[in-house]
């Protein structure tokens, strides 16, 4: 995926600098997921010509969060450079207790961010509201016929 500036995903974020608010984001997933039983068990409404998507929310820039998902790994030494605060900070991908920072489907099947589906919602004032918008956006996209995964 080609790097895009943070302002392509949020009106207030700048390149390599998060605005300090929350964001919803949508990742387009590889269409081969339509052959995955578990994924499709939550997507009976999927229309044949519609994409597979992951909907999430974050306090990072949308691009930084996408990069976190792409690093899908269980190796404790692996990490990523987070530039949300204007300087690159190395963060481990695997947190204490063995929990990773990324969800399986966007980590393995994630192709690109889809700002056309989420830009208008960002930035969001707090985490609670971001989670509500995440759920509403996922439900809206499912109603439109997309196959959607969301936590």
> Distance between CA atoms of 137 and 25, rounded to whole angstroms?
10
Mean pLDDT across the chain, nearest whole number?
86
Minimal CA–CA distance to 114: which of 71, 76, 146? 146
pLDDT, tens digit, 9 for 90 and up, residues 4-15: 556 788 999 887
Question: What is the model's pLDDT at position 90?
Answer: 73
Minimal CA–CA distance to 27: which of 107, 112, 103? 112
Q: Which residues contact 41 (CB under 8 A, 6 or more apart)?
A: none
Question: Region 113-134: what's the mean pLDDT?
Answer: 97
Question: What is the model's pLDDT at position 84?
Answer: 76
How buried is residue 8: exposed, middle or buried, by Cβ count under 10 Å (0-12/13-18/19+)?
A: middle
pLDDT exceeds cutoff 60 at 1:
no
What is the b/e burial string over 124-144, where b = at least 16 CB atoms within 10 angstroms of the residue's CB? Answer: beeeeebbebbeebbeebbee
Question: Region 57-76: what's the mean pLDDT?
Answer: 81
Question: Region 110-130: what's the mean pLDDT?
Answer: 96
Please, which pLDDT band fits residue 144 given cuts at 50, 70 and 90? very high
pLDDT, tens digit, 9 for 90 and up, residues 71-90: 766 666 677 777 777 667 77
Q: Which residues contact 128 (CB under 8 A, 6 or more apart)?
A: none
In the chain, the percentage of residues whose pLDDT exceeds 90 is: 55
Q: Could you tell me the pTM of the whole model?
A: 0.88
């Amino acid at each position: 995926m080609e790097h895009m500036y943070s302002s392509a995903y949020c009106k207030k974020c700048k390149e390599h600098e998060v605005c300090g608010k929350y964001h919803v984001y949508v990742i387009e997933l590889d269409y081969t997921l339509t052959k995955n039983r578990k994924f499709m068990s939550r997507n009976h409404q999927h229309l044949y010509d519609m994409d597979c998507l992951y909907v999430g929310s974050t306090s990072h820039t949308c691009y930084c969060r996408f990069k976190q998902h792409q690093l899908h790994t269980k190796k404790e030494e692996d990490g990523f450079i987070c530039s949300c605060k204007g300087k690159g900070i190395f963060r481990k991908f695997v947190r204490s207790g063995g929990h990773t920072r990324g969800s399986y489907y966007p980590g393995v099947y994630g192709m690109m961010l889809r700002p056309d589906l989420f830009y208008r919602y960002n930035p969001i004032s707090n985490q609670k509201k971001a989670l509500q918008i995440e759920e509403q956006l996922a439900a809206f996209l499912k109603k439109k016929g997309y196959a959607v995964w969301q936590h």
